[in-house]
Amino acid sequence: MTSSAAEFSPNNLDALWMPFTANRQFKSNPRMLVGAKGMYYTSHDGRQILDGSAGLWCVNAGHCNDHIVAAVQAQVARLDYSTAFQIGHPAEFELAARLVATTPGDLDHVFFGNSGSEAVDTALKMAIAYQRLKGEGSRVRLIGREKGYHGVGFGGISVGGMVNNRKFFGPLLAGVDHLPSTYSHEHQAFTRGEPTWGLHLADELERIVALHDASTIAAVIVEPVSGSAGVLVPPKGYLKRLREICDKHGILLIFDEVITGFGRLGAAFGADYFDVLPDIMTTAKGLTNGTVPMSAVFARKHVYETFMDGAAEGAIELFHGYTYSGHPLACAAGLATMDVYKEEGLFERAASLAPYWEDAAHSLKGAPHVIDIRNIGLVAGIELEPRPGAPGARGYEMFTKCYEAGLLVRVTGDIVAASPPLIIEKREIDQLFETLGRILREVD
């Protein structure tokens, strides 16, 4: 059947296939956002909705920040697009230099992409190619972790550990193994910050090395704090132990900081917060405040130099890149975002609000359905008891009722995650958790 212009309807909801959404359910009762400023969205029916999830963990400086908006507007009128292959433009070099001045240790080189998923694929490819250039071409295995989320590319879902994101898509990448999740309800429920139980789970990496032999393993990838699986904070000392084991066996350590990067924990990066330096670090989201899609993969000096030294003079060192790597609008947004983070001291602000946030989150202990509360920096996960035979149903009801009550939070299964813009005020923290408490009493 052909369609004609006369059949086009701007209000047709059918054409769009929405991501990670129950399409039929949504379309029968749509929720639309039409504007945003600071801490609030405006819904299609004119309501102000408190953004309790920084969009999707990305709008750390708040919505429609004047400085970021002006920078993107000026850039689009000056240079709208420039190829990233064999040609540069000033803003991408300026942003790269600016970023590596903020990263810890010698994470001094940065490769740009457009999304967290691309950043993860880039990092995994870098790790395997790095080992080959070092003369260790048998190191091709990648080690992820159960409950890990690393986006939706084949690389990311292979090392990731969320079953629904994996089970539909065949055998995935070969040669991948997984560390166990660091979470135990029995030993960790209602912990404030880092749990004291679970350090021994890092030693599972020794078991995996013993099973496959170090000579087959290229890299380990973990999120410093698991976000999408429901805010799983690492046990005290866990990341340091992983670092030690990786060093012992010549394995690269990749931190996926797509959520933890740019202030979420009250430090620039999770690597700073936990004082553990990975070899490669992936970021996205807060890099541009969510304004223009962009991701950045940071590589330590030894990684970058292995590529530079490993290729003949005049040869391309890494056969990888995207049409929109270092896109001018993304770079303008990134530079302006870095200005705002610095001028408004937002990472320090997150650190100073974290104790208040923690108390507010844990005030929900004892509320109906709540079986665990976890927190770190300006992130909290509130886990609800699933309805018998209907996992996720209570969480979904929580999400829709919160939205109707003027609060946007992220819900995965029966876990509510809150991660607001870092500009949040104490009264808005109160509003957020009071609304959650009220809705918890309303849902079945």
Residues near ligand PLP (CB under 6 A) = 115-117, 120, 149-151, 223, 227-228, 256, 258-259, 284
Nearer to ligand PLP, 117 or 306 (CB): 117
Least Å distance, CB 284 to ligand PLP, is 5
Residues 6 or more apart whose CB falls under 8 angstroms from that of 195 comprise 182, 187, 188, 233, 235, 236
Task: Give the three-class secondary structure for 150.
Answer: coil
Q: Is the dihedral of CA 168, 172, 175, 180 positive or negative?
A: negative
Residues 6 or more apart whose CB falls under 8 angstroms from that of 18 comprise 26
Least Å distance, CB 116 to ligand PLP, is 2
Least Å distance, CB 315 to ligand PLP, is 30
Nearer to ligand PLP, 231 or 384 (CB): 231
Least Å distance, CB 264 to ligand PLP, is 10
Which residue has the CB atom at the shortest distance from ligand PLP? Answer: 116
Least Å distance, CB 16 to ligand PLP, is 18
Q: What would the two tokens of residue 420 be?
A: 């607001």
For residues 174 and 180, give the distance between their C-alpha atoms in angstroms, rounded to a whole number: 19
Nearer to ligand PLP, 151 or 328 (CB): 151
CB-CB contact of 377 with 265 (8 Å): yes
Least Å distance, CB 161 to ligand PLP, is 12
Least Å distance, CB 434 to ligand PLP, is 27
CB-CB contact of 385 with 369 (8 Å): yes
Buried b (16+ CB within 10 A) or exposed e, 308-329: eebeeeeeeebeebbebbbbbb
Nearer to ligand PLP, 21 or 48 (CB): 21
Nearer to ligand PLP, 111 or 149 (CB): 149
Q: What would the two tokens of residue 249 be?
A: 């066996």
Least Å distance, CB 403 to ligand PLP, is 20
φ/ψ of 188, rounded to 5, equals -125, -5
Angle at 422 between CA 365 and CA 344, to 5 degrees: 150
Helices H / strands E in the chain, number of each: 16, 15
Nearer to ligand PLP, 116 or 326 (CB): 116
Nearer to ligand PLP, 120 or 330 (CB): 120
Nearer to ligand PLP, 40 or 149 (CB): 149
Q: What would the two tokens of residue 371 be?
A: 């079986």
State in Å, rounded, how far the first CA of the chain is from the last one: 46
Nearer to ligand PLP, 209 or 409 (CB): 409
For residues 275 and 265, give the distance between their C-alpha atoms in angstroms, rounded to a whole number: 13
Q: Which helix (H) or strand (E) holds 240?
A: helix 238-249
* Strand extents, DSSP E, 38-151: 40-43, 48-51, 109-113, 141-145
What length is written for the chain?
Answer: 444
Least Å distance, CB 346 to ligand PLP, is 19
